[in-house]
Amino acid sequence: MDLITAGDFSISITSIAFLMFSVFLIAAVGYLLGRITIKGVSLGTAGVFIVALLYGCFFFDNLSENLVLKAAESGESISFVSNALKIVENMGLILFVSAVGFIAGPAFFENFKKNFKSYVLLAVIIILTGGLACAGCIAIGSQFSDLNGDEFTAVLVGLLAGALTSTPGFSASKDAVGAELEGAVSVGYGIAYIFGVIGVVLFVQLMPKFMKADMKKERELIISSGTASKKKSESGKLIEMDDFGFMPFALAAIIGIFVGSIKFGNFSLTTTGGCLLTTLVFGHFGKIGKISIMPKDTTLKVCREMGLMLFLIGAGVSGGARFVEYFKPIYFVYGVIMTLLPMIIGFLFAKYVLKFKLLNNLGAITGGMTSTPALGTLISTAGTENVASAYAATYPAALISVVLVSQFIVILF
């Protein structure tokens, strides 16, 4: 059997192949599940997470038996499945968050001169509402839970991240609770994520019907408002470091990891916040002198999807291993509350305080809830891609806010 030796330990090629086989198997089956559509609603990439959870529930022990390091002298075997999944998860996280930052960067700063302050305020209102709902559930539910305080808090902040379909919030929560409680966060995320996706998708489809909106008129209003984001035109031919833009992508990721590692007391932006902020800046400027620092659009879309897939697989399998241990029906109810309350409060605030038109409102809600699937549904429902402007303006602020709120809740409780 071929072995790879590192220091006092060795690992077989077969072990690595088994890990790769598991990752691609989960991805293939997950995307098949995500394609199933019922009355216009599908799970999309969320299907990968569900399959990863199930794989962790039923095959985690088998995975542990196959992913082993052997000591060269004693022959002792040590499973490294948790570390292997962490590598998959972190690689996916960096790809996903960095791609999102590059994509949102131009609109993020450009729209600041227009209505961006309103979008930021709305994002903060939505995330704070979700955070307060989470804090309330912790304060009330902990009195009836058989988990200790730290475990219960870990499950609930996972529920918050899932309810808001926030991958960065999920990551920040896992970092904040520590390695021992990461499984509890993953379980909470998995429980709430499904309704977090479906709930927002249904909301943007049903709200225009409830309000008996004239979609043709609403569509004309958002098109005439000129809120569609436009990337800054670049004069002259820029020097491309490579055909796909992987070099600037990698450079931004390196800087982001460094920024995220800087600590202010017990607080840090983590890899999530660091990569997001760095790539927002890269995406805004787009160039340094005559050198392009903006990856190709196709590269960003592929990195975003692949990153999300890898992250959900790494987190889902490890969370699935402890899913049965932590799952309780009341957690699903908590998740529904954390999804519906921020959406409703946010929609009413945007309508009556910020005076947003319907489609701008719904676009901003999908950004505030960090729901990419819901944006796709809204574009189809509205019949125009102009709604993506409000999404792009609200989304980055919501991502940053949910990272901060998740960490604050863990520190508070």
Closest among 292, 187, 170, 167 to 232, alpha carbons compared: 292
**CB 353 within 8 Å of CB 379:** no
pLDDT higher for 56 or 125? 125
pLDDT higher for 381 or 296? 296
Task: pLDDT band for 230, please (50, 70, 90 cuts).
Answer: very low
Q: Which of 28-37, 81-90, 295-304 has the lowest average pLDDT?
A: 81-90
- What is the pLDDT at residue 108? 65
Cα(9)–Cα(76) distance, rounded to whole angstroms?
A: 9
- What is the pLDDT at residue 231? 47
Q: Which of 19-28, 51-60, 155-164 has the lowest average pLDDT?
A: 51-60
Q: Specify the DSSP class assigned to residue 1.
A: -
Closest among 312, 399, 363 to 45, alpha carbons compared: 312
**CB 25 within 8 Å of CB 43:** no
**pLDDT tens digits for range 323-382:** 777 778 899 999 999 999 999 999 999 999 999 999 999 999 998 998 876 777 788 788
pLDDT average, residue stretch 95-115: 76
Is there a domain that residue 318 lies in?
no
Is there a domain that residue 265 lies in?
no
Half-sphere CA count of 30, side-chain side, radius 13 A: 26
∠ CA 42-103-124, nearest 5°, is 75
Is there a domain that residue 33 lies in?
no
SS3 at position 58: helix
**CB 225 within 8 Å of CB 232:** no
- What is the pLDDT at residue 61? 79
- What is the pLDDT at residue 228? 44
- What is the pLDDT at residue 227? 43
Is there a domain that residue 109 lies in?
yes
Is there a domain that residue 43 lies in?
no
Q: Which of 6-20, 123-137, 381-395 has the lowest average pLDDT?
A: 6-20
- Residue keyed to tokens 């394609």: 35
- What is the pLDDT at residue 40? 64
Q: Hey, which residues does 291 pair with through a beta bridge?
A: 239, 288
pLDDT higher for 166 or 244? 244
The radius of gyration of the chain from alpha carbons, rounded to an integer in Å, stands at: 22
In this predicted structure, the answer to whether residue 72 has a pLDDT above a threshold of 60 is: no
**pLDDT tens digits for range 262-290:** 877 666 677 877 888 899 899 889 999 99
Is there a domain that residue 46 lies in?
no
Question: Average pLDDT of the chain?
Answer: 83
Task: pLDDT band for 100, please (50, 70, 90 cuts).
Answer: confident
In this predicted structure, the answer to whether residue 93 has a pLDDT above a threshold of 90 is: no
- What is the pLDDT at residue 221? 83
- What is the pLDDT at residue 233? 46
9-12, strands of its sheet edge to edge = 3-6, 9-12, 68-71, 77-79
Closest among 387, 410, 381, 384 to 119, alpha carbons compared: 387
| Residue percentage of the chain with pLDDT more than 70 | 88
∠ CA 235-236-239, nearest 5°, is 120
Q: How many domains does the chain have?
A: 1
Domain of residue 404: give its range. 86-232+299-311+326-412
**pLDDT tens digits for range 131-179:** 999 999 999 998 888 888 888 999 999 999 989 988 778 888 888 888 7
- What is the pLDDT at residue 303? 92
Cα(341)–Cα(306) distance, rounded to whole angstroms?
A: 31
Cα(364)–Cα(389) distance, rounded to whole angstroms?
A: 8
**CB 195 within 8 Å of CB 183:** no
Is there a domain that residue 1 lies in?
no
Is there a domain that residue 142 lies in?
yes
